[in-house]
Amino acid sequence: MSPPGVRAFVGLGANIGNPAAQLANALEALDAAGVLVAVSGVYRSAPIGPEQPEFLNLVAELAVFDGPYELLARCHALEAAAQRVRRERWGPRTLDVDVLLFGDVEMHDLELQIPHPRLHERRFVLDPLAELAPELVTLGQLSAVADQDCEYVGTVELLHQLATASPGQRQD
């Protein structure tokens, strides 16, 4: 049985500071808010844009009782809690949280676009989304991004192990 609320998906990624801890903290905050339904495995991917460390990525399924703009505000609050600074497009980040899908809503304005406009172009989003909701991802979409560097590294429990690794093992 599906949980009540609108079925929504957010993509989370991080590549500076302690990415595993930042992702784990964001998931804990979503869980504490009572909206977290499921979490994909963790994926490592090459960055898009300027030279920077690899990303850890995952997708979370949510049951949302507010509207899409409220979900966007929640995503921005998670980023702020991780001390995200927006310096350059596609630059390194402590935490990036994007609204991917929000029920069957389609919207295209300057502040928010649903579905996420580049969802179908990014293997680091499609692979974890396909884990949680295979009916939402086509084989054609997966084939189109098959050459992108993206590797499954483990279940979400891995985040907690990585988050507590010694500082010398962290990506800065």
Residue 166 makes CB contacts below 8 A (sequence gap 6+) with: none
- 31, 87, 98, 149: which one is catalytic? 98
- 7, 31, 66, 84: which one is catalytic? 84
- 66, 86, 96, 127: which one is catalytic? 96
| Phi, psi (degrees; rounded to nearest 5) at 140 | -60, -40
Residue 126 CB burial class (10 angstroms; 0-12, 13-18, ≥19): buried
State yes or no: is 149 an active-site residue.
no
Q: Which stretches does DSSP call E strand in 40-149?
A: 42-45, 55-64, 96-102, 107-108, 113-114
State yes or no: is 172 an active-site residue.
no
Joined together, the tokens standing for residue 78 give 């998670």
**Neighbouring C-alpha atoms within 13 Å toward the C-beta of 64:** 24
- 31, 44, 74, 93: which one is catalytic? 93
State yes or no: is 84 an active-site residue.
yes
State yes or no: is 93 an active-site residue.
yes
From residue 140, alpha-carbon distances to 11, 49, 111, 117, 146 in Å are 20, 25, 29, 17, 10
Indicate which residues carry an active-site annotation: 84, 93, 96, 98
